[in-house]
Structure 1
């Protein structure tokens, strides 16, 4: 599996009610062994998670199921991350 860095940045006027469903989504991915790390930024602008997937299309499909993405209140960007 490859690593993908998913950046989830809040847009102005995002719905705070989406934060818990977003966290629940991440916990489901973690339970399934699909996330190595996740967390919010201290300035409350958003956060990131390190997603495991076979290819970028799979990573994008997973990230686009995130309630943060589905709500339209966050910008979700996926990068293939060749970290060591």
Structure 2
């Protein structure tokens, strides 16, 4: 069975999370989706953060560069971790 490389992004809210970043973050995700780079996204049921899956990205470094432009990262309201993910 073949595998596909995707990048799982975990975004965990910091204690000083500012909800005003949500709209710019959603616009960022919409742009990624329009560019064919976003496969899925969603928030955690407990409100602690969320995750999204990047696809069609050349490398872990490229995925990290994309995530560095996320308003959640730019405004430092969440801790974002990118993991290379081999799916099948």
With the shorter chain as reference, the TM-score category is over 0.9
Cα separation, 2, equivalents of 1:8 and 1:27:
16
Structure 2 residues without counterparts, runs of 5 or longer: none
1:43 maps to which residue? 46
Structure 1-normalised TM-score? Answer: 0.96
2:18 maps to which residue? 15
Structure 2-normalised TM-score? Answer: 0.91
1:59 maps to which of 57, 63, 72: 63
Larger Rg: 1 or 2?
2
* Structure 1 runs (4+) greater than 4 angstroms displaced: none
Structure 1 residues without counterparts, runs of 5 or longer: none
Is residue 80 of structure 1 aligned with residue 84 of structure 2?
Answer: yes
Give the count of matched residue pairs. Answer: 84
Cα separation, 2, equivalents of 1:83 and 1:10:
26
